[in-house]
Amino acid sequence: MAMVSASAASATSFIAFFLLLLLGTSTGQEQIPNSDVDLLEFPLNLEFLEAEFFSFAAYGTGLDSMAPNLTMGGPPPVGGRRANLSPLVRDIIAQFALQEFGHLRAIQNTVRGFPRPLLNISAESFAIVINDAFGQRLQPPFDPYANDINYLIASYIIPYVGLTGYVGANPNLQSTTAKSLVAGLLGVESGQDAVIRTLLYERALLKVVPYPFTVAEFTNRISNLRNKLGKEGVKDEGLIVERGQGAEGRVSGNVLAADQDSLSYARTPQEVLRIVYGSGKENVAGGFYPRGGNGRIARSFLPAT
Ligand SMILES: *[C@@H]1O[C@H](CO)[C@@H](O)[C@H](O)[C@H]1NC(C)=O
Ligand SMILES: *[C@@H]1O[C@H](CO)[C@@H](O)[C@H](O)[C@H]1NC(C)=O
């Protein structure tokens, strides 16, 4: 008698366990709060820019021919070109491009996402950033697609901003789904930044011909410009810094940018937009985004159109 009821009880709990398992898998998708949706969608703006810039440079073509679904119907970018790269750098940049396709898909599979914004990745767009960084018009105008060094310097401009954005978003996320996605994106984004910085660091003291400035000076100028546009203090550092700014205040080599404890700097969406618009204002579109970014966060700062 006792045996029967014990096995009946265990059968009941067995069935209950199975039901829970079934329920768990059918409702496996965690509810993502709206604030997380916004914070996950916002970086699509940067991922689209990186995907197109890397893909054009490596392959001479972008998402529209490589992975058209990922554009979600947004307009094609302006000014992308196949870059004149050595086999090693082309190989690395091709891998970065494909990694960005994966990032776009991962975000779009987690949240609804939005169409690719209009992107201006023309040589002139980058030349304007470089002129602003130096406070003078370089002659001839800087061409990101001309060679390895120029392309790596131009690449120094982009993934790092995405990295600081992910670091900034992380503490504001609520759901496990969003946190694990952002950790995964941040890991690869910071890896890309490290590869770019290392390749540039090897060449830090070389002149960027035909200009009288070294690679290190280019990175320092670009980082200073980003600090100025972001308007929230120093969150960006070039490849060779004052000793006090290097790791533990003991080195001037600065292959990675980080704070006094060698932790990555964080930026808010506003800071990111001020930088990538080149305007220093989250409500004034421009630069790589002639019509501004897409998604609730970026659109919320822009005048209604
Ligand atoms: C791309 O979109 C088309 C049309 O909507 C669809 O048939 C196809 O399965 C999609 N491919 C991928 C890889 O999502
Ligand atoms: C792209 O940027 C360059 C430099 O600002 C500009 O001359 C060109 O008109 C822009 N193209 C578009 C479509 O916005």
pLDDT digits (tens, 9 = 90+) for 33-72: 999 999 999 999 999 999 999 999 999 999 999 999 999 9
The reply to whether 161 falls in a domain is yes
Q: What is the pLDDT of residue 26?
A: 44
| Res. 2 pLDDT band, cuts 50 70 90 | very low
Q: What is the pLDDT of residue 51?
A: 98
Residue 152 CB contacts under 8 Å (≥ 6 apart), including other chains: 89, 196, 199, 200
Q: Higher pLDDT residue, 212 or 9? A: 212
Q: Which ligand is nearest to the CA of 67?
A: 1
The reply to whether 249 falls in a domain is no
Q: Which of 52, 53, 56, 78 to mutate to test the pocket of ligand 2 (most atoms within 8 A of CB)?
A: 78
Q: What is the pLDDT of residue 297?
A: 98
The reply to whether 162 falls in a domain is yes
Tell me the CA–centroid distance for residue 85 and ligand 2, in Å. 24
Total number of domains in the chain: 1
Q: What is the pLDDT of residue 15?
A: 53
Give me the residue label for tokens 């409702």. 27
Atom of ligand 2 nearest to the CA of 290: 14
Residue nearest ligand 2's atom 14 by CA: 290
Share of the chain above pLDDT 90, in %: 88
Q: Residues 80-96: what's their mean pLDDT?
A: 98
Whether residue 182 has pLDDT greater than 60? yes
Residue nearest ligand 2's atom 13 by CA: 78
Q: What does the angle CA 84 – CA 223 – CA 91 come to, to the nearest 5 degrees? A: 30
Q: Looking at this protein, which amino acid is placed at residue 36?
A: D
Q: What six digits make up the tokens of 270?
A: 């506003």
The reply to whether 8 falls in a domain is no
Residue 296 CB contacts under 8 Å (≥ 6 apart), including other chains: 38, 41
The reply to whether 46 falls in a domain is yes
CATH of the domain at 146: 1.20.1260.10
Domain that holds residue 166: 33-205+266-301
Contact 200, 224 (CB under 8 A): no
pLDDT in tens, 292-305: 999 999 999 999 87
Q: Which ligand is nearest to the CA of 131?
A: 2
Q: Could you tell me the sign of the dihedral formed by the alpha carbons of 46, 48, 53, 54, in that order? A: positive
